[in-house]
Amino acid sequence: MRARLALALSTVLLAGCGSSGSSGAGASSDGSPALRSELASSPTSATSSGPVSLVDRCGSVAAGARRVSVGVAGQRLSAAERGTGAAVAVLLHQTNGDGLCGWTSGAKLFADKGIRTLSLDLCGYGESTCTLTPTQQVRGAVAWAKARGATRVGVVGASMGGSIALGTARTSGADVTVDLSGPTNWSDVPEAKVAAKGLSTPLLVAASKDDTDTDAAGLRAATATASGPHRFVSTPTGHGWDLVSTFAGGADRPTPLFATIVSWLRGDYVGG
């Protein structure tokens, strides 16, 4: 798998493509142009003198976030922690946005609502150069949060991150899983219909029916097969973390779906 990904990245670089993502953690099976564009972008890595600050890397909205390192199976995941409290959201990024930086605005919104966040650079993105499986990464992040005072941990994934969140839901140890526009097929994790069938832990899935980068109907059908609390939300537009916040009036503002996600992270599967 790593060899194939290295070959793919080399091809992209030779073609002169890339701006802010990586091809290091999987590929969508639908081959849509937007996802191919995401996969063609390259990550921002640490400087030769060490990792850059979160503000320098992700922008001023990252002020207040704390750089942390999550140890898993002898390897390290670069991460950022924000906020305080016993309810924690592990945030898994999509393929663009320089890894965890894409969640910077969303992390602040969650923290403002009392949800502590742990945003990861998945292996092959941002500053994480690890070779862990998706299961190891997500399970390790959940365990890290619980070891540091979390009494409830939710995994929230956008696009690729959504596919990984759902695909690892049985083994992550999370109390709730949120999949935002995850493609129904992604490498190294079970497809959505397999991952959701009979799932006993709470599952919240959202996608836009007009989103060509995922299969909203397939996600809806998969969600319906879960045995625990489950809900599918059809959004009017948006993909991935755009379902959580939108830029309006000079600031990032929560979408209507945001309140529902917060309710589920708190254990209220009716409100929101």
pLDDT in the model for residue 52: 79
**Segment 36-60 mean pLDDT:** 60
What is the radius of gyration, based on Cα positions, of the chain? Answer: 17
Q: How far is the CA of 270 from the CAs of 177, 178, 264, 265, in angstroms?
A: 15, 15, 8, 12
pLDDT in the model for residue 50: 60
The domain 69-265 is placed in CATH, from the list 3.40.50.1820, 3.40.50.450, 1.20.1110.10, 3.90.220.20, at 3.40.50.1820
pLDDT in the model for residue 7: 38
Q: How confident is the model at residue 14 (pLDDT cuts 50, 70, 90)?
A: very low
Q: What percent of the chain has pLDDT over 70?
A: 81
pLDDT in the model for residue 38: 36
Say how far apart CA 264 and CA 272 lie, in whole Å. 8
Say how far apart CA 192 and CA 182 lie, in whole Å. 9
Partnered with residue 187 across adjacent β-strands are none
Does pTM surpass 0.85? no
Q: How far is the CA of 175 from the CAs of 86, 148, 171, 179, in angstroms?
A: 13, 16, 11, 14
pLDDT in the model for residue 189: 98
Partnered with residue 76 across adjacent β-strands are 71
pLDDT digits (tens, 9 = 90+) for 147-204: 999 999 999 999 999 999 999 999 999 999 999 999 999 999 999 999 999 999 999 9
Cα 99 off chain centre by: 9
